Amino acid sequence: MDFKKILTPILSIIAFLAIWEFIVWANGWPNYVMASPSDLPAAYVRYWNLFLIDSWQTLWRTVAGLAISIVFGTFLGMVMGFSRTARDALYPLLVGFNAVPKATVVPVLALLFIGAHDFNTVLMAFMISFFPIAVSVGIGLSTLEPEYRDILGALGASKFTIFRKIALPKTLPEFFGALKVSVTLAFIGTNLVEIISPHGKGLGALFLSGQTNGDYPLMFAVLIALAFLGILLYYAVVALEKIFAGWAERQPG
């Protein structure tokens, strides 16, 4: 086990918290203006049950939306990667859709699917996170060297075999790179609905509760909890990347 890879991010987090604490102390800010890291443990102790329940609510809906985005984004990327016509037709639509601020879509979803809060949250997590996956897979497949396809085709390989033996391994590094971005985007989508929706659940709703009551330590405690979940899911993707695409990693010289 490479302890340096574990120790380095831990030390960077500790340094970030120390700088945050110092800035609050140096400016003499009370916790109703800017909470410091030392203010947060009391909030976790006081609301520990809410943090457990709401963290689970946020996590499972984020993972569900991300899972759908993986399936849909991969399929869309394959369509665009294997067909130039489909790529030319779909790219403008995808770019335009991705440019729309997703916060403006939340009220529309709330009106279309009244009361379906879980569905709306998962849908938003999906809508905001599938774009990087679709683009990366599409680019990976469209830049596949034609010589490989020609050689395997001459040997009688089917299109599925060509995809499984050549195209799929080639796109895995791009896919996992995009998935790391999509993880954070999915959390953003989940929390948009949790905060904006009037019947919100999850950490976003807990943050809104802290804002309504002027409880700044609670608000910042929620932000740190969200960051922790994001880091957790990110390193889950890193672990999967090492299993399925570890061969693509190059050690720095």
Q: Is the pLDDT of residue 1 over 60?
A: no
CA atoms in the 13 A half-sphere facing the CB of 227? 9
pLDDT (0 to 100) of residue 49 = 94
Average pLDDT taken over every residue of the chain: 87
Tokens 């945050």 map to which residue? Answer: 20
R_g of the chain computed on alpha carbons: 22
pLDDT (0 to 100) of residue 129 = 94
Round to whole Å and give the CA distance between 150 and 153.
Answer: 5
pLDDT (0 to 100) of residue 5 = 76
- Tell me if 193 sits within 8 A of 105, measured CB to CB: no
pTM score = 0.87
What is the tens place of the pLDDT at every residue in 18-51? 999 999 999 998 888 889 999 999 999 999 999 9
Least confident interval from 90-104, 119-133, 151-165: 151-165
Burial of 5 (0-12, 13-18, 19+ CB in 10 A): exposed
Round to whole Å and give the CA distance between 116 and 138.
Answer: 33
Least confident interval from 62-66, 143-147, 246-250: 246-250
What is the tens place of the pLDDT at every residue in 67-89? 999 999 999 998 888 888 989 99
pLDDT (0 to 100) of residue 150 = 72
What is the tens place of the pLDDT at every residue in 204-223? 999 999 988 888 999 999 99
Round to whole Å and give the CA distance between 179 and 136.
Answer: 9
What is the tens place of the pLDDT at every residue in 218-251? 999 999 999 999 999 999 999 999 888 776 666 6
